[in-house]
Amino acid sequence: MSETVAVGALRPGDVLLYQGTGWLARLIRFFDGTDFNHAGLCLGDGSVAEALAQGVIRQGVEPSIAGRVKVLVRRLKQDVPSLDPVVGRGLQVVDEGHRYAYEQLLLLAFLGLTRKLKATPILRTLLRKTLDRAAAVASGIIGAGKEPMICSEFVYRCYDEALPEAADVYSLEVNAFPRGAPPAGRRAAAAATVRGKGVHPDSLLAWRLAAGPASPRQRGLRAAGPPTPPSEDELAELAERYLAEARGEGFRARTPRVADADLAASIDSFALSLQPKGRGRLPEPLAREVAVRDLLATAPDFVTPGDLLHTESLFSVAELDLSGASPRRRGGARRSRRAGR
């Protein structure tokens, strides 16, 4: 494998995995256990399709890689005559771009729910605040008549839906967690229901399922209305503290206590925020349980950048040569850093 690959040597269908610099990008990478927090699909003719805040768009490679620390190029291992079906599906989704919206916070929320995370004193606070803000973001997306489309899910779907067959030469094999022995203790029953390829049996979502139906206190919290979402600065501060604690660096600041009922209520609020607005209204607590079960079924569908890095259906070509990018672009604008690029 060559040391780097030139932008001009990219092929249609190549998968690009990006490493950004902001707190959100770093936290996504830590939760996902990889070096990458974003993904895009090469279309050929120097353009890339990717899911960004404004939707699924097509843009040039140069603006796509602006502000990135590194970009890894991955390519389909299976020998096929053409990647045209994959690129064609990507262009179809681009044409439907008005249907979709993307916010990296949703990817972070799903990772926080489905991964086994390193426990630190501030983790529960970080997870609750992340879910509260993600619920507000998801409500805005769905309320505007759009569907959430996570960046790596977009790339995965371009391959998976390239041909009408359920499984074909383009489909990527993704399995985030090998099936091991079921955990013992009170979480065993919940873990037995976790069948998705991206839900860890020791994850927050598995814990919520083990907790059972919502308690009267949780129902009261929901009846009082969703919590006020935290600001980006507050989340950034919590993220920096968590990453420092995970590295073994202590903090003298007092750690707030997050009760199980409060954390479960935030999970439920996030799950409810993803429910289709046209669905018939269900009484509490049934609506919560339905939403959480739907979340269990939905979460594995959101393929992460780490899944695209580890799938054996792709092989790594090399890192993209970023030497030709302008210093201003390589450094990244302040807005890009704050957005977690």
Reported as a single tens digit per residue, the pLDDT across 255-294 is: 888 999 999 999 999 998 888 765 556 666 677 888 888 8
pTM: 0.85
212 found inside a domain: yes
Q: List all residues 6 or more positions away from 8 whose beta carbon is below 8 Å from its beta carbon.
A: 46
Q: List b or e across 301-323, with b for residues whose CB sees 16 or more CB atoms inside 10 angstroms.
A: ebbbbbbbbebebbeebebbbbe
Report how far residue 248's alpha carbon sits from residue 232's, in angstroms, rounded to the nearest whole number.
Answer: 24
Residue tagged 């996570």 (tokens)? 150
Find the angle CA(18)-CA(20)-CA(21) to the nearest 5 degrees.
165
Average pLDDT estimate for 197-221? 73
Reported as a single tens digit per residue, the pLDDT across 39-86 is: 999 999 899 999 998 889 999 999 999 889 999 999 999 999 999 999
pLDDT at 2: 58
Q: Are 28 and 108 in contact (CB under 8 A)?
A: yes
255 found inside a domain: yes
How many structural domains compose the chain? 1
Element housing 158 (H / E): helix 151-160
DSSP assigned state of 203? S
Residue tagged 């899944």 (tokens)? 307
What is the β-pairing status of strands 147-148 and 100-101?
parallel
- Return the structure tokens found at 149: 């489309």
339 found inside a domain: no
Q: Is the pLDDT of residue 300 over 80?
A: no
Element housing 52 (H / E): strand 47-52
DSSP assigned state of 214? P
286 found inside a domain: yes
Average pLDDT across the chain, whole number = 83
200 found inside a domain: yes
308 found inside a domain: yes
Least Cα distance to 93 among 52, 62, 60, 123 occurs for 52
pLDDT at 178: 41
Instruction: Give 1's pLDDT tier (boundaries 50, 70, 90).
Output: low
Q: Are 96 and 16 in contact (CB under 8 A)?
A: no
59 found inside a domain: yes
Report how far residue 118's alpha carbon sits from residue 243's, in angstroms, rounded to the nearest whole number.
Answer: 10
Average pLDDT estimate for 212-228? 59
Task: Supply the range of the domain harboring residue 57.
Answer: 4-329
- Return the structure tokens found at 39: 């993904």
Q: List all residues 6 or more positions away from 233 whose beta carbon is below 8 Å from its beta carbon.
A: none
Average pLDDT estimate for 34-40? 96
Percent pLDDT > 70 in the chain is 79
pLDDT at 62: 93
338 found inside a domain: no
- Return the structure tokens found at 186: 């009170």
Instruction: Give 335's pLDDT tier (boundaries 50, 70, 90).
Output: very low
